A and B are shown apart, each in its own frame.
Chain A
Amino acid sequence: MLEVSDLRVAYRKQAIIPDLTLEPLRAGAVVALLGPNGSGKSTLLKALAGLLPYKQGSVRLDGKSLEKISFEQRAQQVVYLPQSLPASVHLRVLESVLVAARASALAAEAGRVHLEQVLSLLQRLGIEHLSMHYLDQLSGGQKQLVGLAQALIRRPRLLLLDEPLSALDLNYQFHVMDLLGQETHEHGLITLIVLHDLNVALRHSDYAVLIKQGELLGEGAPGQVITPAALAEGYGVEARIEPCSKGILQVLIDGLRAPVR
């Protein structure tokens, strides 16, 4: 379980997240983190990962305060996958996943990760055929899947993903979200994922958190959070949420709520 209370994160003196408290997030849930650009989503993920310091508030994972453990210990439990894809790196896919497991200062304590484990993970993600390819030969979508493998091989409790679908085509988006759901449910992770596509959030997440300017606009089941009123307030758009012929909720955008000035 992840508990975030009274969190305040600031860059210099400007508060990006003034004071954020969330309902406890349960293990085994894919949580969509939603909000317009500049709403503090990436900042929140970085703060949870321990990459950005916060002066106030607390983050507890399975009842333990993350502030009270070392950066290295925190990284054993919390894995953050940034938005950016690695540029031209002349490293094979297999090596890039091995390095994720072995580079940490506490890698030895956590037990050595073997080649077979990496290969079996790549197999689960359906990219074992890319094992011997160089990273700089892969497409954006393939790199994103390798990134996911780098995150999962560390066997985290809390997985933080910053827009992992941004470089992916429709097929890969479905593939990645299905895999994430499967890994999260099977291994009891808490997966917090920044999404821009609200239809993906409605279809694939178990819980949704909507923020704007670092303030909470709503949280709960995706169908209850993604409402016309919330979209008007959060994104400034006129929208309808209607079930399709298969009964799955869809967001239909009618236009801007107010003209952009």
Chain B
Amino acid sequence: MLSAHTARLAETQYQQLIRTRWLMVAALVFVIVFSTLADFTLGPSALTWPDLFQTLLQPSTAEPTVRVIVWEFRLPYSMMAVAVGMALGLAGAEMQTILNNPLASPFTLGISSAAAFGASLAIVLDMSLPGLPHSWMIGGNAFLFALLSALLLDAAARWGAMSSSGMVLFGIAMVFSFNALVSLMQFIASAEDLQGLVFWTMGSLSRATWPKVGAMMLAVALIWPLAMRDAWKLTALRLGEDRASSFGINVQRLRLTSLLRISLLAALAVSFVGTISFIGLIAPHIARRLFGEDHRFYLPGSALVGAMVLSLASIASKNISSGIIVPVGIVTSLVGVPFFLSVVLRRQSN
């Protein structure tokens, strides 16, 4: 009798938990929208809230200068922060699951560096394919290198039976190697190319344009449902590879499709805004605390937290020093390094 009561209580608690998670998703969306709007009212050329709403809702009646600032510069900038944050948050969450490593992210394990190298190679060698615009070639090459590095990581994780810390060391070796290769590219680059290359390594939203924002949003919109389709399988993988296999999951195929998604998201993010550090590491950790590891909530949660953190970082990047926009990658590094260390130290103490 008592145990039937306990079971009913658990059912009610679980349903309540699901409702709370949906509320948290809604709260995250609200914070993202609010921080995106608040961004316009802070820093240089700040707008008042009424001016902002008028420019956004009725652009034709707004003052032309304000309209251009909002629609041509600041809105694509903010939207890019949201789209890239989502991409990196989602990629980081998937990566921590398939590599079973809380320190994994496209940045810490070298996928972003590999993408930056691919992009710089395309710029310096002026690579092109007939009928393909040069900017696409840069993105394509970034993807190719991101994918290769992701496959290498996966192979090292599986065949080397590598421990969590061994994996991170392997990743750090990749970061160093690709960063050295990017430096080599910078060394041999022409003055004009060099300017572009510095942009990749720093991570900045300042080159955001509507077509780029659209492409990034489209990629997230296409990849998100594919990741969600695998949500149960990815949750099962958290219980261990053998257990997931015994549930009838083809773990190898799951890992491969997941790596493809991660590479695509990381490579696109890098090719549009350069290497923005630590978002893919921080977002999954916060999402795990908020939602647990049921991937139906953990994956979207991590994407939304990523968008929120990058959005807030982009506000900070404009307000650290008046009149100067610090590249957002520098801000995320400043926040990310202590966070990274805290994760490492917490694991040590466990």
Contacts and interface: CB of A to CB of B under 8 A. Distances in A.
Interface of A: 49, 51, 71-72, 74-76, 79-82, 84, 86-92, 94-96, 99-100, 102-107, 115-116, 119-120, 122-123, 126, 128-129, 131-132, 134, 147, 150, 154
Interface in B219-249: 232-233, 235-236, 238-240, 242-249
B14 interface: yes
A202 to B, nearest CB: 28
Given A92-B292, A120-B7, 12 more contacts: A76-B248, A80-B246, A86-B240, A86-B243, A89-B238, A94-B14, A95-B292, A104-B247, A104-B249, A105-B249, A128-B7, A131-B14
Interface in B241-284: 242-250
A241 B235 CA distance: 46
B240 A84 contact: yes
Interface of B: 3-4, 6-8, 10-11, 13-14, 17, 232-233, 235-236, 238-240, 242-250, 288, 292-294, 350
A104 B14 contact: no
A82 B3 contact: no
List 8 tightest A-B contacts by C-beta distance, closest first: A75-B248, A131-B10, A104-B248, A103-B236, A82-B242, A80-B246, A119-B7, A103-B232
Nearest to A130: B10
Most buried by B among A74, A91, A115, A123: A91
A81 B240 CA distance: 11
B11 A90 contact: no
Contact of A81 (B6, B233, B243, B294): B243
B240 A82 contact: yes
Contacts of B293: 89-91
Contacts of B242: 51, 80, 82, 84
A91 B249 contact: no
A95 B246 contact: no
Nearest to A73: B248
23 contacts: A72-B250, A84-B240, A86-B243, A89-B239, A89-B293, A91-B292, A91-B294, A95-B294, A99-B235, A99-B236, A99-B294, A102-B232, A103-B235, A104-B248, A106-B248, A122-B7, A123-B7, A126-B3, A128-B7, A128-B10, A131-B14, A147-B243, A150-B243
B349 to A, nearest CB: 13
Nearest to A79: B246
Contacts of A75: 245-249
Specify the main secondary structure of chain B where it touches its partner: helix
Contacts of B238: 86, 89, 91
Most buried by A among B8, B11, B293, B294: B293
Contacts of B246: 49, 51, 75, 79-82
A73 to B, nearest CB: 8
A79 B239 CA distance: 14
Given A90-B293, A99-B235, A105 B240 contact: no
Contacts of A84: 240, 242
A10 B52 CA distance: 70
Contacts of A72: 248, 250
Contacts of A150: 239, 243
A96 B239 contact: yes
Contact of A119 (B11, B236, B350): B11
Nearest to A103: B236
B124 to A, nearest CB: 44
Most buried by B among A51, A94, A100, A103: A103
A86 B4 CA distance: 28
A128 B6 contact: yes
Most buried by A among B6, B13, B244: B6
B250 A71 contact: yes
A154 B248 CA distance: 11
Contacts of B292: 90-92, 95, 134
A115 B238 CA distance: 20
Contacts of B244: 103
Contacts of A91: 235, 238-239, 292-294
A17 to B, nearest CB: 18
